[in-house]
């Protein structure tokens, strides 16, 4: 592992950490959870900026919801568009609690 790469997380991160690292973009009503057909999310998809989109998913046990990078479709609840892209290391990490 090089000095510039963050250590791989093995536990779900907190929402406060997610908020600080990726800066979710609020909608006019102040919320951050967007529907699948939100125009800004679709624009990120069309421009291949998948690294700006997170998906809010229900956990398998029904007790927690998690933010995971990209366009997940299983247990989908909504999308979150962020100002900062996620690194490839997030693809294998357990996500962030929401």
What's the pLDDT tens digit per position in 30-86? 999 999 889 999 999 899 899 999 999 998 777 889 999 999 888 999 999 999 999
Place of tokens 């929401």: 98
Would you state the pLDDT for residue 2? 47
More confident residue, 95 or 7: 95
Asked if residue 76 lies in contact with residue 57, where contact means CB atoms within 8 angstroms, the answer is yes
Provide the pLDDT confidence category of residue 5 given band limits of 50, 70 and 90.
low
What's the predicted TM-score (pTM) here?
0.84
Task: Please enumerate in sequence order all residues whose Cβ is within 8 A of that of 19, keeping only pairs 6 or more positions apart, or say none.
Answer: none
Closest CA to 69 of 44, 46, 47: 44
pLDDT of 7 higher than 80: no
Q: For the chain, what are the domain ranges? A: 15-97
Place of tokens 């790469």: 5
Q: Where are the beta strands (DSSP E) in the chain?
A: 53-58, 65-69, 76-81, 96-97
């Amino acid at each position: 592992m090089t000095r510039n790469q963050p250590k791989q997380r093995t536990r779900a991160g907190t929402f406060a950490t997610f908020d600080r690292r990726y800066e979710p973009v609020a909608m006019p009503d102040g919320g951050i959870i967007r529907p699948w057909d939100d125009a800004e999310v679709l624009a990120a998809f069309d421009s291949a900026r998948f690294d700006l989109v997170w998906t809010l998913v229900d956990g398998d046990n029904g007790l927690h919801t998690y933010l995971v990078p990209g366009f997940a479709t299983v247990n989908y609840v909504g999308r979150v568009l962020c100002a900062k892209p996620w690194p490839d290391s997030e693809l294998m990490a357990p996500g962030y609690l929401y």
